[in-house]
């Protein structure tokens, strides 16, 4: 460990000296590109670690993430049709692996438990020599694995994680998030909700009692209150809750005319199903139709809720029905290989794998500090979300956000959501020191050796 | 007042599920002396009987619709259920709509069969083993069963809606003279409560008013003496295991419209159901039912916003808190009999 710190200091000193003398030498040693960092690839291959939920409640989402990673590996190694590599604005990737090394991978099972996710990531780093860890379907897991990767000295490319904290108070120099966050959901949803339901509304929040729930409630509450809505009550619900009837029954008595379900996964499926069963959507309160809002939608979860999602607004990071060239290329690759369209989890994971590989190519090294530098402030397009920036200050991607609605007349089991608005990136961008992201700092990159 | 009535109603359907599962657990414990940790899995399998029948009823053949395209731009393949070909679309839709109630008929033989297979194939080998061994093997079995279900049906919840006729909710508030919308209650939950009451009544009547039930009750009281009278009590107890499995399964079938079933739902109910059994009194059927409803209602009250503001987190511990108090003041539970689990 002490050796690692000395080396890192040495690197920083080198950069500082170089900067002081006016040389454009980066903080990693380009001449020593394949040494001086943890798990430097030996031989003709490089190993990536895909840490996804393969068991537990998000196993289906994890399976879709793994499919996306396998597709990304194929494309990186020059197999298949290349997918988004053909539409990606950076042309550093050549389809010959990464820096000429064939991409191999190992997988771990996060079980959507922080300790299990850390253990599987640790094993992939220490035993399998993974140079980068990516994946996951929960913010708790993302924050835990990100911290581990920072300590170990490998890059973490987050999978599906929506909590503000991942790139807020828990951000790390070695960690990067392509997925959007709670703040962006609130900022994108609020104007659409105002247009659809007006400014004079009383909202009742049911919030999953954990990190993601808190940040999502805060983001949606702040955004909706700013446009004139009143928050009449916020109630925390246990993450293990399956029957939400006792939480939903008092909603109408509160005088609220909108129910915001800050729930994800099984919680969302059950709370939404229960709310619809109670007939909330058939009621008139304060002279208005009662409405339900689900801030974070997932197609896989929408499938679990069935017809209950019809007409309900929410936000999503990406949807397979987008018609830009990048999305079409990815849907074609994925759909041809697997027979069904990819989920947003699959999309973000595929993009993260390509972005990592591209950053390595542009940096000319696998050294995590080189990769960090290549990703910070990187602007790109052609990956399904329009022009995108990997902001240097917090390692968060800034791009358009989709506001979606449960489709009234779905034509297939995948056709559950329709895009009602593509919220431009400017509208969801915030200052790095925004109160919802306060605390924590990136620190410095750790090359691990 | 209206809030209290509302939470009592809420507690009734939750209590119905607890009571049905706990009833089966108690039946098995009372007859076979086995602590069956796989009972939650039987509830889950029952729910998946409904999912399976829904899928059977919607088994389809593909028809190409040239006017529409799929996500890859190919002509859209539309699934047409075979049942449309047999009964016509209108009748077919009605049958599919009523899949959950129809599943009761499907689930009874399946669950009884699974119960027999479980008892004869595995659990009978553990009758004379300590309760700890029984718990370990049945808990292991529960995990195996849920992983099998996950393998075939995936990890995501599967929507299994109630028939259209039972969607929506009933306004009790308006009926009782309160403001409209103050006490609303979904129709299907009323159905669930009524169904649970019928099943519980039927089990009690079966044990109370039939010769078979009389023998079983005698066996529960003194297995050895009944055996000495030349009655094959083991066979009857195996049948009771099958009946207990069917009760749990039916509870699961009817629960599917309330919460979309997933492979984990049995575990969600299992621990609470054991608390229900312990609070009701080990081996006491009426205690299990009473405690089921009591704890269901208490859990609902603990989830009220006003209660949570006063005692944050009480909703997560109320059942266990009550269990501790009952066990401290009435170690045998509410209606426990002397001598059960005390040897």
| Model confidence, pTM | 0.85
The answer to whether residues A138 and A239 touch, using CB atoms and an 8 Å cutoff, is no
Residues A224 and A287 in one domain: yes
Residue among B14, B304, B305 minimizing CB distance to A243: B14
Distance between CA atoms of A381 and A363, rounded to whole angstroms? Answer: 19
Give the 3-state secondary structure of residue A392.
coil
B70 touches chain A (CB under 8 A): yes
- Is the CB of residue A161 less than 8 Å from the CB of residue A140? no
Q: Give A347's contacts (C-beta < 8 A, 6+ positions apart).
A: A68, A317, A318, A320, A330, A384
Domain limit, last residue, from A399, A418, A441? A399
Tell me if A427 is assigned to some domain: no
Q: A4, A47, A6: which is closest to A356 by C-alpha?
A: A47
| Structure confidence by residue, pLDDT tens digits, B194-209 | 999 999 999 999 999 9
- Residue A122 located in a structural domain: yes
Residue B312: per-residue pLDDT? 83
Clarify whether residues A168 and A207 are in a common domain: no
- The answer to whether residue A434 sits within a structural domain is no
Judge if A248 and A277 occupy the same domain. Answer: yes
Query: Contact, A394 vs A175, CB < 8 A?
Result: no
Q: Do the domain assignments include residue A78?
A: yes
User: CB count, 10 Å around CB of A444?
Assistant: 16
Predicted confidence at residue A85, as pLDDT, reads 97
* pLDDT-above-90 percentage for chain A: 75
User: CB under 8 Å, gap of 24 or more: what pairs does A75-79 form?
Assistant: A75/A333, A75/A354, A76/A103, A76/A353, A76/A354, A76/A357, A77/A102, A77/A103
| A274 chain-B contacts, CB cut-off 8 A | 258-259
Picking from A357, A378, A399, the residue at the C-terminal end of a domain is: A399
| Separation of first and last alpha carbons in chain B | 46
One domain for residues A247 and A303: yes
Residue B172 confidence (pLDDT) above 60? yes
- Average pLDDT (A312-322) is 95
pLDDT given for residue B338 in this prediction: 67
Same domain, A311 and A197: yes
The pLDDT of residue A139 is above 90: yes
Say whether pLDDT at A110 is over 60.
yes
Task: Give the minimum alpha-carbon distance from B202 to chain A in angstroms, rounded to a whole number.
Answer: 27
Residues A46 and A165 in one domain: yes
Residue A11 has pLDDT above 50, yes or no: no
Q: Looking at chain A, which residue has its C-alpha nearest residue B265?
A: A242
Query: Can you tell me the distance from the alpha carbon of A190 to that of A228, in angstroms, rounded to the nearest whole number?
Result: 10
Q: Which of B10, B158, B308 sits opposite A249 (nearest CB)?
A: B10
Residue A406 resides in a domain: no
More confident residue, A325 or A36: A325
Quote the pLDDT of residue A35: 64
User: Which of A381, A399, A417 lies at the terminal end of a domain, its last residue?
Assistant: A399
Residues A188 and A176 grouped into a single domain: no
User: Do A331 and A349 belong together in one domain?
Assistant: yes
Within a domain: residue A392? yes
CATH number at residue A42: 3.40.50.2300
Which of A63-67, A370-374, B12-16, B138-142 comes out lowest in average pLDDT? B12-16
A253/B contact by beta carbon, under 8 A? yes
Interface of B with A in 249-268 (CB under 8 A): 257-260, 262, 264-265, 268
- Smallest Cα–Cα separation from B253: which of B43, B22, B38? B43
- Structural domain containing residue A176: 33-180+321-399
A355 and A311 inside one domain: no
Task: Give the bridge partners for A285, in sequence order.
Answer: A288
| Residue from the list A279, A335, A414 with its beta carbon closest to the beta carbon of B184 | A279
> By three-state DSSP, how is residue A264 classified?
coil
Partner residues linked to B311 by β-bridges: none
A334 to chain B: closest CA residue: B72
Do A310 and A336 fall into the same domain?
no
- Residues A73-99 have a mean pLDDT of 96
C-alpha to C-alpha distances, A360 to A88, A132, A155, B284, nearest whole angstrom:
15, 11, 11, 67
Find the closest chain B residue to A246 by CA distance.
B300
The verdict on ipTM greater than 0.85 is no
pLDDT of residue A221: 96
Higher pLDDT, B285 or A420: A420
Parallel/antiparallel/unpaired status of strands B169-171 and A258-262 = unpaired
Give CA–CA dist A394/A377, Å, rounded: 10
Whether A201 and A246 map to the same domain: the answer is: yes
Check if the beta carbon of residue B281 is closer than 8 Å to that of residue B333. yes
Q: Which residue of B has its CA nearest to A338?
A: B72
Residue A160, domain member (yes or no): yes
Domain assignment present for A432: no
Chain A contact for B182, CB < 8 A?
A: yes
Average pLDDT value for residue range A43-57 = 92
Question: In terms of Cα–Cα distance, which of A401, A398, A351, A405 is closest to A379?
Answer: A398
Check residue B78 and give its pLDDT. Answer: 85
Which positions in chain A touch B316 (Cβ < 8 Å)? 238, 240
Q: Which helix (H) or strand (E) holds B77?
A: strand B75-81
The answer to whether A379 faces chain B, any CB pair under 8 Å, is no
For residues A132 and A209, membership in a common domain is answered with: no
| Mean local confidence (pLDDT), A11-29 | 42
Asked whether the predicted pLDDT for residue A99 surpasses 50, the reply is yes
Inter-chain touch A246–B299, beta carbons under 8 Å: yes
Q: And the tokens for B102?
A: 């129809």
Q: Has residue A25 got a pLDDT over 60?
A: no
How many domains, in total, are found in chain A? 2
Q: Among the residues of B58-88, which ranges form H helices?
A: 82-87
User: CA–CA distance from A422 to each of A87, A218, A315, A418 (Å)?
Assistant: 20, 22, 10, 11
Label residue A392 exposed, middle or buried (CB < 10 Å: 0-12, 13-18, 19+): middle
Max Cα separation, chain A?
Answer: 71
Distance from CA of B29 to the nearest CA of A (A): 27
Q: Is the pLDDT of residue B148 over 80?
A: yes
Indicate the pLDDT class of residue B9, thresholds 50, 70 and 90. Answer: confident
């Amino acid at each position: 460990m002490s050796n690692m710190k000395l080396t890192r200091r040495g690197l920083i000193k080198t950069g500082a000296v170089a900067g002081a003398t006016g040389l454009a030498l980066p903080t990693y040693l380009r001449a020593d590109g394949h040494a001086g960092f943890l798990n430097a690839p030996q031989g003709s291959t490089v190993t990536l670690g895909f840490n996804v939920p393969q068991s537990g409640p998000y196993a289906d989402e994890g399976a879709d993430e793994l499919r996306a990673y396998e597709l990304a590996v194929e494309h990186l190694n020059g197999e298949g049709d290349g997918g988004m590599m053909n539409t990606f604005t950076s042309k550093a990737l050549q389809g010959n692996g990464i820096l000429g090394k064939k991409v191999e991978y190992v997988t771990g099972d996060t079980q959507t438990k922080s300790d299990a996710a850390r253990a599987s990531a640790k094993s992939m780093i220490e035993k399998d020599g993974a140079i980068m860890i990516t994946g996951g379907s929960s913010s708790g897991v993302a924050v835990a694995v990100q911290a581990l990767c920072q300590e170990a000295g490998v890059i973490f490319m987050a999978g599906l994680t929506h909590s503000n904290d991942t790139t807020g108070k828990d951000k790390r120099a070695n960690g990067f998030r392509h997925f959007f966050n709670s703040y962006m959901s609130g900022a994108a949803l609020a104007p659409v909700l105002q247009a659809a339901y007006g400014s004079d509304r009383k909202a009742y929040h049911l919030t999953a009692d954990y990190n993601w729930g808190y940040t999502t409630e805060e983001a949606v509450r702040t955004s909706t209150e700013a446009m004139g809505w009143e928050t009449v009550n916020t109630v925390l619900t246990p993450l293990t809750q399956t029957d939400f009837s006792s939480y939903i029954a008092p909603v109408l008595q509160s005088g609220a005319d909108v129910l915001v379900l800050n729930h994800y996964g099984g919680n969302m499926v059950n709370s939404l199903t229960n709310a619809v069963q109670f007939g909330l959507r058939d009621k008139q309160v304060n002279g208005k139709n009662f409405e339900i809002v689900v801030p974070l939608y997932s197609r896989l979860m929408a499938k679990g809720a069935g017809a209950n999602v019809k007409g309900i607004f929410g936000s999503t990071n990406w949807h397979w029905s987008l018609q830009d060239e990048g999305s079409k290329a990815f849907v074609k690759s994925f759909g041809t290989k697997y027979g069904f369209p990819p989920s947003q989890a699959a999309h973000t994971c595929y993009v993260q794998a390509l972005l990592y590989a591209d950053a390595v190519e542009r940096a000319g090294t696998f050294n995590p500090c080189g990769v960090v530098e290549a990703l910070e402030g990187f602007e790109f397009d052609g990956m399904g979300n329009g022009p995108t920036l990997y902001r240097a200050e917090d390692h968060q991607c800034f791009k358009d956000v989709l506001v979606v609605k449960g489709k009234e007349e779905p034509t297939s089991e995948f056709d559950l959501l329709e895009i009602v608005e593509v919220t431009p990136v400017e509208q969801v961008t915030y200052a790095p020191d925004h109160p919802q992201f306060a605390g924590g700092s990136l620190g410095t990159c750790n090359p691990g050796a | 007042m209206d809030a209290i009535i509302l939470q009592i109603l809420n507690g009734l359907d939750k209590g119905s599920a607890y009571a049905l599962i706990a009833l089966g657990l108690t039946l098995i414990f009372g007859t076979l002396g086995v602590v069956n940790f796989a009972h939650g899995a039987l509830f889950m399998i029952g729910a998946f009987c409904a999912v399976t029948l829904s899928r059977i009823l919607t088994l389809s053949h593909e028809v190409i619709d040239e006017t529409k395209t799929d996500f890859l731009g190919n002509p859209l393949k539309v699934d047409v259920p075979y049942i449309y070909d047999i009964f016509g679309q209108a009748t077919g839709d009605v049958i599919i709509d009523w899949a959950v109630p129809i599943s009761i008929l499907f689930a009874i033989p399946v669950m009884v069969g699974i119960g027999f297979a479980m008892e004869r194939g595995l659990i009978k080998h553990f009758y004379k083993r300590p309760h700890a061994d029984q718990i370990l093997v049945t808990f292991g079995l529960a995990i195996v069963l849920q992983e099998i279900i996950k393998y075939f049906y995936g990890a995501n919840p599967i929507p299994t809606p109630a028939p259209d006729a039972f969607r929506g909710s009933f306004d009790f508030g308006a009926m009782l003279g309160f403001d409209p919308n103050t006490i609303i209650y979904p129709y299907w939950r009323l159905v669930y409560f009524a169904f649970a009451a019928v099943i519980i009544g039927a089990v009690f009547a079966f044990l109370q008013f039939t010769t078979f039930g009389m023998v079983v009750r005698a066996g529960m009281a003194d297995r050895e003496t009944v055996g000495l009278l030349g009655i094959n009590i083991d066979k009857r107890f195996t049948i009771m295991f099958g009946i207990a499995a069917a009760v749990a399964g039916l509870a699961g079938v009817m629960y599917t419209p309330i919460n979309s079933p997933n492979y984990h739902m049995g575990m969600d109910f299992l621990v609470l159901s054991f608390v229900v059994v312990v609070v009701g009194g080990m081996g006491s059927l009426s205690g299990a039912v009473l405690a089921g409803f009591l704890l269901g209602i208490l859990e609902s009250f603990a989830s009220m916003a006003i209660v949570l503001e006063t005692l944050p987190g009480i909703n997560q511990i109320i059942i266990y808190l009550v269990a501790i108090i009952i066990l401290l003041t009435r170690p045998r539970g509410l209606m426990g009999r002397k001598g059960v689990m005390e040897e």
